[in-house]
């Protein structure tokens, strides 16, 4: 999304207001939400509005009484990864709730950046920001045109690049520790695209003992990041 949009919810708005790279054009909030928000107002000021009026403005959004009209964040380039230890790459994941949940896990496990493609990715919207619960404004987002080429560039930068695939012969837990990781996750159903998988050079699965071995992509991201920080990073 290149156009301004409404970002809403207490956590998302609080994080956006604290982000110096975020441009805010308008803010509406109920008196109760302002008391709960505990954040400095933007330069444009605050329009105090009752919840019913905000409902009319935003429709069915679960806004918790506060919303800001913002410019989308500007995606960073691969140069931002020069000092990164752990990076997540999202291959054509378009569901905003999944991407939002992945961003939450990424922030929780101190991922340095999330790489997405300029096309066939979830747009920055209010729904994504709400699902991310503030994480959207707390992590570097790198936008690339071609993910396979970006992976090749990351390999030159020293990253071990691994694609997650439920049918891969090797298990995530069998990976040897590395200093820099780039984990690639694909959309549910389709998974990581063949060309991107070949660019990674290695595929691993998450060992699941139950009858269902294919996980929701946001759950797979959280498990992968836990493993990375538990045993896969060299000091």
Regarding whether 193 and 101 lie in a shared domain, the answer is: yes
Lookup: tokens for 131:
């699902």
Whether residue 46 sits in one domain with residue 123: no
Assess whether 132 and 202 both reside in one domain.
yes
Q: What is the pLDDT of residue 207?
A: 86
Which of 190, 173, 134 has its CA nearest to residue 22?
Answer: 134
Residues spanned by the domain of 38? 5-70
CATH number (domain holding residue 54)? 3.30.1330.30
Final residue of a structural domain among 41, 70, 99: 70
Q: Are residues 97 and 213 in the same domain?
A: yes
Number of domains, the chain: 2
Q: What is the pLDDT of residue 1?
A: 54
Residue ending a domain, among 70, 94, 110, is 70
Q: For residue 88, what pLDDT is reported? A: 98
What pLDDT does 234 receive? 87
pTM higher than 0.95: no
Q: Are 148 and 222 in the same domain?
A: yes
Give the model's pLDDT for residue 211.
54
Per-residue confidence (pLDDT) for residue 210, from 0 to 100: 65
The domain that holds 225 is classified in CATH as 3.40.1280.10
50 and 83 co-located in one domain? no
Residues 228 and 119 in one domain: yes
CA distances from 122 to 71, 84, 179, 187 (A): 16, 23, 29, 11
Burial of 23 (0-12, 13-18, 19+ CB in 10 A): middle
Contact 100, 68 (CB under 8 A): no
Instruction: Give the chain's residues under pLDDT 70.
Output: 1, 209-213
User: Is residue 32 domain-shared with residue 100, that is, in the same domain?
Assistant: no
């Amino acid at each position: 999304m290149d156009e301004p949009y409404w970002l809403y919810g207490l956590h998302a708005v609080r994080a956006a207001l604290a982000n110096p790279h975020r441009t805010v054009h308008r803010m509406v909030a109920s008196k109760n939400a302002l008391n709960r928000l505990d954040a400095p107002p933007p330069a444009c000021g605050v329009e105090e509005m009752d919840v019913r009026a905000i409902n009319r403005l935003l429709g069915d959004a679960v806004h918790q009484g506060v919303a800001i009209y913002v410019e989308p964040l500007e995606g960073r380039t691969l140069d931002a990864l020069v000092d990164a230890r752990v990076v997540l790459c999202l291959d054509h994941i378009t569901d905003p709730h999944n991407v939002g949940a992945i961003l939450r896990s990424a922030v929780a496990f101190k991922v340095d950046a999330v790489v997405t493609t300029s096309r066939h990715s979830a747009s920055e919207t209010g729904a994504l920001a709400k699902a991310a619960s503030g994480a959207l404004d707390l992590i570097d987002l790198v936008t690339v045109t071609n993910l396979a080429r970006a992976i090749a560039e990351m390999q030159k930068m020293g990253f071990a690049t691994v694609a997650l695939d439920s049918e891969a012969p090797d298990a995530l837990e069998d990976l040897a520790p590395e200093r820099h990781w780039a984990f690639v996750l694909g959309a549910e159903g389709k998974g990581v695209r063949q060309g991107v998988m070949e660019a990674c050079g290695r595929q691993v699965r998450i060992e699941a003992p139950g009858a269902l071995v294919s996980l929701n992509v946001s759950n797979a991201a959280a498990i992968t990041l836990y493993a990375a920080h538990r045993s896969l990073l060299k000091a």
